[in-house]
């Protein structure tokens, strides 16, 4: 009886072992099939694919980054590079089947358990996937380095291009990285990465994929990758995401066509120094569309979306408000070193007097100024806040500051800086959003032209004059050269540096000029002049009157017809040529007061005065009302000129 019981126990144990040997592999096999199915399906349904204006993939975002790319969309040399790389792996990893199993199906086991998982995984892969599907999973879901998953993410990270545009050498390098992300990282082990790439190129030749000549040529190309600190792709995607949210577009499963011009973007990338934190943004002022964007930050900061201290780059907002309230380009503003203690408003762009913001704000109607800043998209900025911004003690969002210049460059229309042009679903290609230009005139075309003419002084006599830019441009930079915003008739370009540049470092203005030279931005026709504007009126910068042949410091200015000066400069009269100095006297600590036009005895006019485009009987401008707080007169030096 006891023997019989023992036999029964042994039989039961045997059955249990057999069942376990059948059930466990079956469970592992079914789990592997489920994993393979999930890997195939997930990347097709999530994330945002971001394209430039020509339809070229430039960035991506989302939980799986929408990184899947169909194998038939890739160049043949890219697929072949990965196939060749697999054959160079050690035994147990040198087939596509084994690669898929080891990367996605085998857990952290060792010994018999790992061997069992490997064999079952290989069986599941062979039964479930074709060779092309195996390659697609390996390339789209493989590990290409820290936080870099899939060939799309890898090509954008390492080369800043779509995987469909990779050349032979780039394809072989990515195939090398996939085989050992840490060992063959081009950032930490560039020599090993290059050697492994070359081994893959030799293997491709051995397998008949490429010729010996093609292999040799590709091996001669140096390993060049985007800086490991480069964040433009990620920050561009963040800006897209923000604008999608602003337009209430769900940010998942989307194709986004941006306004990025690939030629301008490449030009910006070429001139931007490696490891420099800052922003270069190029905007079409006629549409507000962002045509190029470099955004390099540190520690996951996106400088494009940061607040900045504008300093003197806020002054054009003050100028614009002043001109709308009656100032002219020859209105005198205080400047102690001047022989008269004053200079023209236009020349103050060159000198940037420290107390200029306070002086201008003291002359303006405060309520109207606040309304004006609000109309420019800056929010309701009062005089105190404006003075802080202009002196570098306050901060505003960078994009808001740049956007405020768009009306100056675009004929008076406010257009928000926009990067998203069209959005459609990845699955159904149905349009869910399309950008439409909505013009909003915040200043007249005449005022916009006057501000532009005012800001050309930065390029004729100011800091930007040293750049020797050959095209037509207007703009303003701040004192420490961290921000420079300038525009040609067709393009508004702003450069912002996160840190103050050292003497040997590129400045914001020099990078602006390099970019404009790179794109050959020239416009011989100049800025479009609206009706009722007269230009080229030569003015003495110390008195604001019409310059004479004896005025040593003069500038050309534009005016609304009827407001231009008609009286010659009293400080340097045209007669008595032989007795006049050719340069103004050195400034005195306490300058001798000079007569205002109202106090001055009218001088004899030259026999044949030359007044370009000036009317015979100019209409005197109305003085701003003194009954309104802060509006006052724009200085008595304006009248009669």
Least confident stretch, 109-113, 562-566, 629-633: 629-633
Of 359 and 470, more confident: 359
- How far apart are alpha carbons 102 and 125 in whole angstroms? 11
Burial classification of residue 372, based on how many CB atoms lie within 10 Å of its CB (0-12 exposed, 13-18 middle, 19 or more buried)? buried
8 Å CB contact between 308 and 326:
no
pLDDT one-digit tens code per residue, 151-166: 988 998 899 888 888 9
Residue 538 tokens read as 């030569």
Q: Can you tell me whether residue 99 is helix, strand or coil? A: helix
User: In whole angstroms, how far apart are CA 173 and each of 131, 236, 626?
Assistant: 22, 25, 73
What is the DSSP secondary-structure string of 157-197? HHHSS-GGG--HHHHHHHHHHHH-TTTT-TTT-HHHHHHHH
Average confidence (pLDDT) over 221-242:
88
Helix (H) or strand (E) holding 15: helix 2-41
Using a pLDDT cut of 70, give the percent of the chain over it.
83
C-alpha dihedral sign at 272, 246, 286, 401: negative
pLDDT of residue 109: 66
pLDDT in tens, 513-570: 999 999 986 555 789 999 999 999 999 999 999 999 999 999 999 999 999 999 999 9
Of 165, 166, 163, which is closest to residue 148 (Cα–Cα)? 163
Contact between 634 and 622 (Cβ < 8 Å): no
CB 540 within 8 A of CB 553: yes
- 422 confidence band (pLDDT: 50, 70, 90): very high
pLDDT confidence band for 307 (50 / 70 / 90):
very high
Per-residue confidence band for 17, with pLDDT thresholds at 50, 70 and 90: low
What integer is the mean pLDDT of 585-593? 34
What pTM was computed for the model? 0.77
SS3 letters across 273-341: CCCCCEEEEEECCCCCEEEEEEEECCCCCCHHHCEECCHHHHHHHHHHHHHHCCCCCCCEEECCCCCCC
Rounded to an integer, the average pLDDT of 442-448 is 96
| Cα–Cα dist 132/72, whole Å | 9
How would residue 264 be classed by pLDDT, with cut points 50, 70 and 90?
A: very high
Q: What pLDDT is attached to residue 8?
A: 65
Instruction: Evaluate whether 546 touches 641 at the Cβ level (below 8 Å).
Output: yes
Instruction: Indicate if the pLDDT at residue 213 is higher than 70.
Output: yes
For CA atoms 155, 159, 162, 167, give the dihedral sign.
Answer: negative
Residue 627 has pLDDT above 60, yes or no: no
Kindly tell me if the per-residue pLDDT of 310 is higher than 70.
Answer: yes
Q: Pairing between strand 254-258 and 48-51?
A: parallel
Q: Is 238:412 a contact under the CB 8 Å cutoff?
A: no
Report how far Cα 449 is from the mean position of its chain's Cα atoms: 26
Pull the structure tokens for residue 219. 């091996």
Q: Which residue, 455, 488, 460, is CA-closest to 312?
A: 455
Indicate left, alpha or beta for 223 from its phi (over 0: left) and psi (-120 to 50: alpha). Answer: beta
Is the C-alpha dihedral spanning 545, 547, 552, 554 positive or negative?
A: positive
Average pLDDT, the chain: 83
Q: Of the given ranges (60-69, 177-186, 342-351, 362-371), which has the lowest mean pLDDT? A: 60-69
Rounded CA gap, 394 and 307, in Å?
9
Q: Which of 243, 246, 256 is nearest to 429 (CA)?
A: 256
């Amino acid at each position: 009886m006891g023997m019989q019981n023992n036999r029964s126990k042994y039989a039961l144990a045997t059955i249990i072992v057999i069942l376990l040997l059948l059930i466990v592999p079956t469970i592992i096999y079914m789990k592997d099939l489920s994993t393979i199915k999930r890997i195939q399906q997930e990347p097709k349904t999530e994330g945002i694919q971001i394209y430039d204006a020509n339809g070229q993939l430039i960035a991506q975002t989302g939980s799986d980054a929408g990184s899947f790319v169909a194998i038939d969309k890739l160049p043949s040399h890219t697929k072949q590079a990965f196939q060749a790389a697999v054959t160079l792996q050690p035994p147990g990893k040198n087939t596509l089947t084994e690669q898929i199993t080891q990367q996605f199906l085998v857990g952290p086991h060792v010994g018999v358990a790992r061997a069992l998982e490997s064999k079952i995984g290989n069986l599941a892969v062979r039964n479930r996937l074709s060779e092309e599907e195996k390659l697609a999973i390996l390339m789209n879901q493989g590990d290409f380095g820290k936080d870099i998953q899939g060939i799309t993410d890898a090509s954008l990270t390492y080369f800043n291009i779509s995987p469909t545009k990779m050349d032979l050498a780039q394809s072989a390098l990515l195939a090398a990285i996939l085989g050992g992300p840490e060992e063959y990282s081009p950032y930490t082990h560039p020599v090993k990465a290059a050697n492994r790439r070359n081994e893959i190129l030799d293997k491709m030749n051995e397998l008949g994929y490429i010729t010996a000549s093609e292999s040799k040529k590709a091996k001669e190309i140096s390993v060049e990758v985007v800086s490991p600190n480069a964040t433009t792709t990620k920050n561009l995607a963040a800006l897209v995401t923000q604008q999608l949210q602003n337009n209430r577009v769900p940010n998942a499963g989307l194709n986004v066509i941006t306004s990025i011009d690939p030629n301008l973007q490449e030009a910006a990338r070429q001139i931007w120094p490696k490891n420099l934190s800052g922003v270069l943004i190029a905007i079409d002022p006629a549409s507000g569309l962002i045509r190029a964007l470099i955004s390099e930050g540190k520690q996951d900061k996106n400088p494009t979306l940061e607040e900045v201290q504008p300093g003197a780059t806020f002054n054009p907002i003050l100028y614009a408000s002043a001109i709308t309230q009656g100032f002219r380009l020859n209105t005198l503003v205080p400047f102690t070193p001047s022989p008269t203690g004053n200079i023209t408003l236009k020349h103050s762009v060159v000198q940037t007097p420290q107390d200029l913001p306070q002086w201008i704000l003291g002359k303006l109607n405060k309520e109207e100024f606040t309304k004006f800043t609000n109309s420019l998209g800056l929010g309701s900025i009062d005089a105190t806040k404006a003075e802080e911004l202009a002196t570098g003690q306050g901060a505003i969002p960078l994009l808001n500051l740049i956007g405020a210049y768009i009306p100056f460059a675009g004929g008076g229309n406010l257009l928000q800086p926009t990067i998203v042009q069209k959005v459609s679903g990845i699955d159904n290609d149905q349009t869910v959003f399309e950008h439409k230009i909505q013009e909003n005139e915040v200043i007249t075309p005449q005022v916009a032209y006057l501000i532009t003419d005012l800001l050309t002084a930065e390029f004729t006599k100011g800091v930007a004059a040293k750049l020797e830019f050959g095209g037509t441009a207007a703009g303003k930079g701040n004192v420490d050269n961290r921000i420079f915003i300038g525009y040609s008739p067709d393009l508004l370009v702003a450069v912002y540096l996160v840190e103050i540049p050292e003497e040997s470092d590129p400045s914001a203005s020099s990078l602006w000029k390099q970019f404009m030279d790179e794109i050959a931005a020239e416009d011989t026709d100049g800025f479009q002049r609206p009706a009722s504007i007269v230009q080229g009126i030569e003015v003495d910068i110390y008195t604001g009157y019409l310059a004479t042949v004896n005025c040593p410091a003069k500038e050309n200015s534009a005016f609304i017809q009827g407001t231009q000066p008609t009286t010659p400069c009293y400080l340097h009269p045209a007669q008595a040529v032989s007795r006049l100095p050719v340069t103004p006297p050195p400034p005195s600590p306490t300058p001798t007061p000079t007569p205002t036009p109202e106090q001055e005895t009218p001088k004899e006019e030259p026999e044949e005065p030359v007044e370009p485009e000036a009317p015979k009987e100019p209409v005197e401008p109305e003085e701003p009302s003194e009954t309104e707080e802060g509006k006052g007169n724009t200085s008595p030096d304006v009248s009669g000129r």
